[in-house]
Chain A
Amino acid sequence: MMMDEMEYYRRQFYVEAKEIIEKATEDVLKAETEPDNIELLNSIFRGVHTIKGSAGGFELEEISEFAHHLETLLDKLRNREIQLTSEIVDIILNGLDYIAKMIEDCEKGLKPEINYELIEKFKSFAIPSKESENIRDIETSEKIHKEEAISIKREEIPLDIVENLKDYYERGYKVYKILVKYTTDEYINGFDPLIFLKNLKSNTVYYQAITDISTVPPIKDFNPLTLYLQPVIYIATDLNTEEIKDLVFDETLIEIIDLSLQFKVPEEAEEFIPFEAIDKDVFNEFMIDAFEALDTIEKNILAYEKDNSLEALNAIFRAVHTLKGDADYIGLNVLAKFCHNLETLLERLRSGKVKRTPTIIDTLLKAIDILRITIVNLKTNKGYPSTIHQVESELKEILSSKEPLKEEPILSKETLPPEDTLNIFLDQASQFRDIIKIYLPKGLDEQNLKIILRALRSIKSSASYIGLYTLSQMVERALSLHEEKKIEDFQKELKSIEAFLEGLLSGGVKKLGEILLEDRKITEKDLKEALSKQKKIGEILIEEGKIKKEDVQEALQKQKLMETGAQLSSKVTVKAEEEIKTMRVDERKIDNLTNLIGELVVVRNTYEYLLNSLINLFELDRQFLRAFKDNLYQLTRLSYSLQEGVMSLRMIPIKNIFQRFHRAVRDIARKQGKLIKFITEGEETEIDKKVADMLSDPLIHLVRNACDHGIEPPDERKAKGKPEEGTVILNAFQEGSNLIIKIIDDGKGIDREKLFEKAKEKGFTFQSPDDPELLNVIFMPGFSTKEEVTDISGRGVGMDVVKTTVESLGGKVYISSEKDWGTEVTLVIPASIGITSALLIEENNKIFAIPIDYILETLKIPASKIRRIHDRIGIYYRGSILPCEKLTNLLYQKERTFRLEYDKNIELPIIVLKTRNGSFGVLIDKLYKKTEIAIKPVPETLSNIEIISGVSIMGDGKVVLVLNPEKLV
């Protein structure tokens, strides 16, 4: 039981792992073309990482181990220690393929074998090449330099511990080495070192004990009351030496060595306002806000790292910006300067001048850590930590590596800031408005006043940053009013600030004139006059000297903000609807459901049949009958909706199979030195999962063929005057009820002369190489024009298999090709299998069904209108001649009819069918009605009869054959 359940989840893992590999393969190919896209490398790494972890959980150690080695290589890649070259892409793809193979082995119940040869390759590529070392940024080389400095004093501290300790030290923790000096005697007297170690551990963020176990004797000599181990412990902690000593019963039992000195960086001289000069209350308030801001920033950095979210970046920017303003305000200018640099970096990230890399993210996180530490240190009067300069220089390094660090330019009036800055400002503005709205009516006690004043200061700097000088002047006015203790005027000014913000945020977009009027730049009279002169209002007002150019510019800015705000609110509503959840369902369950629905439709048909019998046999009450019919109608509607729903469950976007082909094309291109552009179109087209599975192999064969036999090598193409890069297009689209898939290449095309000769050799005779039928011979089994089979095409699936597969789906394959112009193969697949509408007809006392899709029209025509035309009969149908035949003759392949033995006045039912070969009419005995039938596959014994495409069970339990009009004529 246990085993079975485990196996079930294991199988689920196989499916998941294969999906991961497919996704990773796709990402690898993408990464090759976008070498700077770290996110792709991260994603590949995560995928393999997950496989490693899960495989281990399912006791698939071999896969786990193999994945581990691939993961190591990927880790180096994403950390930019090595560069992604075509060779590495190859080796990664091989690795992914191999994992897939191992999984397949497991599925078959075989024990997967580790490919050590590949692992060796991973390892050989994981060594950074000389060039890539040069590419490494200065930061890393600096690190190496420092490490060397440490190693001199490091004594015997293991390297990984040094790394970790250094890391923690840089984040502001204290690092110690602790020697434990308990003796056996003390141990016997109740001094258990373990208690101390436990205490110590729970007070550290990093704890590593190193023991020499060689001192422990074999078990027979082991004395439980002897202390054998004397561990050396490395910790990172908040505790100072005294506090550590408090943890132990007697401080002489341990020796504490402060390692901080080893990691210390020489201090730079920096002038800052002595911390004592800052008001404690103000600082505390700042601290609370700052911690909150830092939490937000940290969360958003992680979000930004994960999906490059602009929203997160904006949130970071906003918070840092506020922090900077606050710090500057209370006089922490070192901190403010630090934030300023951080802000500049963020700004570059937003504008795309600096790319998001793991190094950058690390630096950002480091910056946040150091800000936290700095604030804590300041709080406890310890002054600025030395590491802040180090991180700051790291920030500067990044900034200067791209372009010289410029002073942040004050926004010129000619250029309006980009939209996202506007978004941020709008966010802030709404906060400020709310603050004023909430706190002003509460009365201006000390607490509220503090909050409002702080908001005002922020508004002031933001407003002038964004170019809203009117607003910043209003705020300035308010601030000075407060200073002068003119409380009433101050409140009034606040009200007008609130109104200003309200106007900005109201969502509506105002006319320029209105804005100017509102901001008291012009009078109503000015506006009316200006409006009467059909010109741009701003220009007029400037011309007339009513206002300055700057005022118009500012009003324009305000207008833009309003527009942004209005857009923003509409965007938000759209976003909420986008989320789509998916769940994975066992395919068999859906198959089952499909079958059940088929049965349901049969039962519905039975219901209808029974109802009709009732009506025929008994005189039923009309009302009763109506209720019965209503009920039947409802049942019909429900079962068809149900059927449609289930069918849509089976549909997947064709993208899922198209995706795999990029890999195949790439492989061939690399192997044969060709340049191939592979384009997929109509990837969203939906296809039945089962059909997709069946088509996958034939399609890959066709794509391979196009690349291998179609596209010429670059020099050959050049000689022909074609672009060196060949193109292969895979296109899918819906046409009527059919799904069409085209594989188009601009390669050398099929040489008709050659094919003609070859066909002759194989015993097919054609009139000439121009015979339209000639191209179809390539679908014949065992037919190939290529002398030798390359190792790329011809992997067991030939063109004949393509044809057979497509035909087994009820579809068709067409090919057209021209020498030197390329080849186009078209697959036509009927979209729906399962339930279809069909017309029931009677012929020779037997009932048949014809799928409605093939029926153009049903007619009743007097026998006299049916004429003999050449060697057959036909009718004039809509201006042309429609050949006709009796169904019986078609079914039993009898001689064609020349003359009809009917009374000339009898009206004969004719069905006009439309097939690939054109239209024709079928004479039948009786027309029934249109009905929904569940088509089941033809039983194997009848499967050779092409004129039958399926069978269906009717309401009365009779079996009806479904005709295939394509094969009738």
Chain B
Amino acid sequence: MGKKILIVDDAASMRGLVAMTLKKSGYEVVEASDGKDALTKLSSVGKVDLIITDLNMPNMDGIELIKTLKADMKYRFIPVIMLTTESQEAKKEEGRKAGAKAWIVKPFKPDVLVSVVKKIIG
């Protein structure tokens, strides 16, 4: 069984692209369109090994998602990678504080994404 990764992004194209990249490296993927949706998906899928999320999304943004996850006993240890166009230091800092494991700035290089993912969940 491959490792399962939840991709959270409001742009379906971006989700698709990330999913494609990860599937090629043998990961299983689940997609969600925003933070709220991610929580719903999590509760239906159960455990995932990693979450890759965008920052700016409707309903619930990426950082809020991390904070919510960290506050939940079931999900607090799932590592989260931020994948966003946001590159401001302050935002990154906010993400780091919230508990993001890595911060990748879009546009991303597929091999960079995969190597970061590998580093975190193998």
- A contact residues vs B (CB 8 Å cutoff): 2, 5-6, 8-10, 12-13, 16, 46, 49-50, 52-58, 64, 164, 167, 205-206, 299, 302, 306, 584
Q: Which residues of A contact B13 (CB under 8 A)?
A: 9-10, 12-13, 16, 54, 58
* Cβ B17 vs Cβ A164 within 8 A: no
| Interface members, chain B 63-119 (any A CB < 8 Å) | 63-64, 67, 84-85, 89-90, 93, 96, 106-108
* Cβ A13 vs Cβ B107 within 8 A: no
Given contacts A50-B11, A53-B85, A55-B107, 9 further A-B contacts (CB under 8 A): A9-B12, A9-B16, A12-B13, A52-B85, A54-B14, A54-B106, A57-B14, A58-B107, A205-B96
* Cβ B16 vs Cβ A49 within 8 A: no
Q: Which residues of B contact A2 (CB under 8 A)?
A: 20, 24
Most chain A beta-carbon contacts within 10 A, residue among B16, B67, B107: B107
* Cβ A8 vs Cβ B16 within 8 A: yes
**Bound-state Cα–Cα, A205 to B63, Å:** 17
Which 6 interchain pairs have the tightest Cβ spacing?
A: A56-B107, A53-B85, A53-B106, A13-B13, A9-B16, A12-B13
Q: Which residues of B contact A54 (CB under 8 A)?
A: 11, 13-14, 106-107
Q: Which residues of B contact A8 (CB under 8 A)?
A: 16
- With A50-B85, A164-B89 as contacts: A16 and B107 at CB distance below 8 Å: no
**Bound-state Cα–Cα, A9 to B19, Å:** 10
Q: Is residue B61 within 8 Å, beta carbon to beta carbon, of the partner chain?
A: yes
* Cβ B12 vs Cβ A584 within 8 A: yes
| Interface members, chain B 1-34 (any A CB < 8 Å) | 11-14, 16-17, 20, 24
**A141 → B minimal CB distance (Å):** 22
- With A16-B11, A206-B89, A584-B12 as contacts: A56 and B24 at CB distance below 8 Å: no
**Bound-state Cα–Cα, A670 to B120, Å:** 56
Most chain B beta-carbon contacts within 10 A, residue among A10, A46, A50: A50
Q: Which residues of A contact B108 (CB under 8 A)?
A: 57
**Bound-state Cα–Cα, A306 to B56, Å:** 10
Please list 10 pairs of residues, one from A and one from B, whose beta carbons are closer than 8 Å in the complex, sorted by A's number: A13-B11, A52-B85, A53-B14, A53-B85, A54-B11, A56-B107, A57-B14, A164-B89, A299-B64, A302-B64
* Cβ A56 vs Cβ B89 within 8 A: no
* Cβ B20 vs Cβ A5 within 8 A: yes
**B119 → A minimal CB distance (Å):** 15
**Bound-state Cα–Cα, A64 to B12, Å:** 18
* Cβ B17 vs Cβ A16 within 8 A: no
**Bound-state Cα–Cα, A584 to B56, Å:** 19
* Cβ A299 vs Cβ B14 within 8 A: no
**Bound-state Cα–Cα, A322 to B11, Å:** 40
Q: Which residues of A contact B61 (CB under 8 A)?
A: 302, 306
Q: Which residues of B contact A206 (CB under 8 A)?
A: 89, 93
**Which of chain A's residues has its CB closest to B20's CB?**
A5
Residue from B63, B89, B106 within 8 A of A57 (CB atoms): B106
Q: Which residues of B contact A55 (CB under 8 A)?
A: 107
* Cβ B67 vs Cβ A299 within 8 A: yes
**Which of chain A's residues has its CB closest to B15's CB?**
A9
**Which of chain A's residues has its CB closest to B93's CB?**
A205
* Cβ A57 vs Cβ B17 within 8 A: yes
Most chain B beta-carbon contacts within 10 A, residue among A2, A10, A56: A56
Residue from A5, A6, A16 within 8 A of B12 (CB atoms): A16
* Cβ B20 vs Cβ A6 within 8 A: yes
Residue from A9, A12, A46, A205 within 8 A of B56 (CB atoms): A46
Most chain A beta-carbon contacts within 10 A, residue among B16, B17, B61, B96: B17
Counting chain B residues whose Cβ lies within 8 A of the other chain, the interface size class is 20 to 34
**Bound-state Cα–Cα, A49 to B11, Å:** 13
**Bound-state Cα–Cα, A9 to B9, Å:** 14
Q: Which residues of A contact B93 (CB under 8 A)?
A: 205-206
**B68 → A minimal CB distance (Å):** 10
Most chain B beta-carbon contacts within 10 A, residue among A6, A49, A53, A302: A53
**Bound-state Cα–Cα, A12 to B17, Å:** 10
Q: Which residues of A contact B63 (CB under 8 A)?
A: 302
**Bound-state Cα–Cα, A301 to B19, Å:** 33
* Cβ B12 vs Cβ A12 within 8 A: yes
**Bound-state Cα–Cα, A49 to B90, Å:** 17
**Bound-state Cα–Cα, A53 to B14, Å:** 9
**B35 → A minimal CB distance (Å):** 12
**A363 → B minimal CB distance (Å):** 14
Q: Which residues of A contact B96 (CB under 8 A)?
A: 205
**Which of chain B's residues has its CB closest to A17's CB?**
B13
* Cβ B106 vs Cβ A58 within 8 A: no
**Which of chain A's residues has its CB closest to B59's CB?**
A579
Q: Which residues of A contact B64 (CB under 8 A)?
A: 299, 302
**B34 → A minimal CB distance (Å):** 10
- With A5-B20, A205-B93 as contacts: A57 and B12 at CB distance below 8 Å: no
- With A13-B11, A299-B67 as contacts: A58 and B17 at CB distance below 8 Å: yes
Q: Which residues of A contact B85 (CB under 8 A)?
A: 49-50, 52-53
Q: Which residues of B contact A167 (CB under 8 A)?
A: 89-90
**Bound-state Cα–Cα, A46 to B89, Å:** 17
Q: Which residues of A contact B17 (CB under 8 A)?
A: 6, 9, 57-58
Q: Which residues of A contact B11 (CB under 8 A)?
A: 13, 16, 50, 54
Most chain B beta-carbon contacts within 10 A, residue among A6, A49, A57, A64: A57
**Bound-state Cα–Cα, A299 to B13, Å:** 29
**A20 → B minimal CB distance (Å):** 9
Q: Which residues of B contact A10 (CB under 8 A)?
A: 13
* Cβ B84 vs Cβ A53 within 8 A: yes
**Bound-state Cα–Cα, A56 to B61, Å:** 22
Q: Which residues of A contact B107 (CB under 8 A)?
A: 53-58, 64
Most chain A beta-carbon contacts within 10 A, residue among B13, B61, B106, B108: B13
Q: Which residues of B contact A56 (CB under 8 A)?
A: 106-107
Q: Which residues of A contact B90 (CB under 8 A)?
A: 167
**Bound-state Cα–Cα, A53 to B85, Å:** 5
**B117 → A minimal CB distance (Å):** 16
Q: Which residues of A contact B89 (CB under 8 A)?
A: 164, 167, 206
**A759 → B minimal CB distance (Å):** 53
**Bound-state Cα–Cα, A52 to B86, Å:** 11
Q: Which residues of A contact B24 (CB under 8 A)?
A: 2
**B108 → A minimal CB distance (Å):** 6
**B84 → A minimal CB distance (Å):** 7
**Which of chain A's residues has its CB closest to B106's CB?**
A53
**Which of chain A's residues has its CB closest to B84's CB?**
A53
**A105 → B minimal CB distance (Å):** 18
* Cβ B84 vs Cβ A9 within 8 A: no
**Bound-state Cα–Cα, A2 to B24, Å:** 9
Q: Chain B, 19-62, contact with A by CB distance < 8 Å: what is the 0/1 string?
A: 01000100000000000000000000000000000001000010
Q: Which residues of B contact A299 (CB under 8 A)?
A: 64, 67
**Bound-state Cα–Cα, A6 to B16, Å:** 8
**B11 → A minimal CB distance (Å):** 5
**Bound-state Cα–Cα, A337 to B49, Å:** 47
Q: Which residues of A contact B84 (CB under 8 A)?
A: 53
**A41 → B minimal CB distance (Å):** 15
**Bound-state Cα–Cα, A10 to B107, Å:** 13
Q: Which residues of B contact A46 (CB under 8 A)?
A: 56
Q: Which residues of B contact A50 (CB under 8 A)?
A: 11, 56, 85
**B63 → A minimal CB distance (Å):** 8
**Bound-state Cα–Cα, A650 to B93, Å:** 45
**A388 → B minimal CB distance (Å):** 20
Q: Which residues of B contact A12 (CB under 8 A)?
A: 12-13, 16
**Bound-state Cα–Cα, A302 to B20, Å:** 32
**A725 → B minimal CB distance (Å):** 36
Q: Which residues of B contact A49 (CB under 8 A)?
A: 85
**B40 → A minimal CB distance (Å):** 10
Q: Which residues of B contact A5 (CB under 8 A)?
A: 16, 20
**Bound-state Cα–Cα, A167 to B107, Å:** 27
Q: Which residues of A contact B12 (CB under 8 A)?
A: 9, 12, 16, 584
**Which of chain B's residues has its CB closest to A71's CB?**
B85
**A583 → B minimal CB distance (Å):** 8
